[in-house]
Structure 1
Amino acid sequence: MKAIQFLIGFALLALASSLASAYDPSRLQDICVAIEDPKDGGLNKPGNTTNRLGVNETEANVEQIPGLNTLGVSAFRIDYAPNGQSPPHIHPRASEILLVLEGTLYAGFVTSDNLNNTLITKVLHEGDVFVFPIGLIHFHVNIGKTSAVAYSGLNSQFPGEITIADTIFGAHPRIKPDFLAKAFQLDPNVVKDLENKFGNGN
């Protein structure tokens, strides 16, 4: 009987300790490093959207604002030209909430394999928000006729960003075209063309 009580007690203790560590503990410290240059980390100025994607992301993470160290938060200002897009990408260390300040965006994410790769989307207008879960492929695109602006908040001081096409087709050294052709069910010549485009930073 004592052996059974011991096993039950041990199992409850193990369960309690696993539940207690099922979330990220607070990383708050009693010190905040000041910004040396007041221009660092500002999100008040529009970004230059004259690039191949028609989008500019102004970051406010621990690299721009050292005071974010250990706080577990960061932000972006995202400026979009008409038809500008933040292409399919993931943040490996953070979930993201997107708030539209101006314009109309089409935003979405794809669930994981065990949820049948379901596409979840919404058209967002001024004041609307959308949440992208950590590690899922997501995107947003300006579908309006004018420029758009959004802010995003992430629950990591350095969330990281992996843009799918840039990562796959712009890898150095290149991933073998025959492998990618089979993986994406493409003609190897199409893969080579994509690798030439992304590999040259165009």
Structure 2
Amino acid sequence: MNQLDTNHEDIFENFIFCLEGVPDIEEPHSSEVVESLEKLAFNYGLASIYKTCDTIEGLEESLNTLLYDDHGFKDYEIIYLVMKGEENSICLNDYYYTLDEIAEVFEGKLTGKILHFANSKVLDLSSDEAQFFLDVTGAKAISGYGTPFDRLTSINLDKAFFSFFKETDNVFDIVEELFQKNYDLCKLLDFRLYY
């Protein structure tokens, strides 16, 4: 597992676990996500773990490692997923997995966490789908975007969203501040929060 530089460990109070879907984890790739997470660490004191996966088993293994091997997991408030997919599914290696299937894999394991999707995947859930995921996993909220990726990534809005966690962990206050300071981008990308 790759952890960004955390030489001043005592300054980090909130953490982000980022999992990016890639075609093949054995192949080198570059990602603007890593650079963005490094800036969050240095500018806002939000440390991150970044990992890639190319299968549902890799996703499950990464989250289980975090859950069971990382004793600081209680400090990871945000699970940031950067992967392709559609309304209620993610796509890994050309296979689609619904959020219902993912919820069952992580039953009761995401208590108090916010699952945030980059706009590489549209997030469009019915209230029943969202409620099922939240009830089964124990997650505090699911957030993402309703506008599909079209040359404009959500990386800057994601970064703004995460930076507000430095001041409070009240997700409603954070979303309100996000809209106040980034209204046009929130509307353009159709920021969504299910809780």
TM-score range, shorter chain: under 0.3
Q: If the length of structure 1 is used for normalisation, what is the TM-score? A: 0.27
Q: If the length of structure 2 is used for normalisation, what is the TM-score? A: 0.27
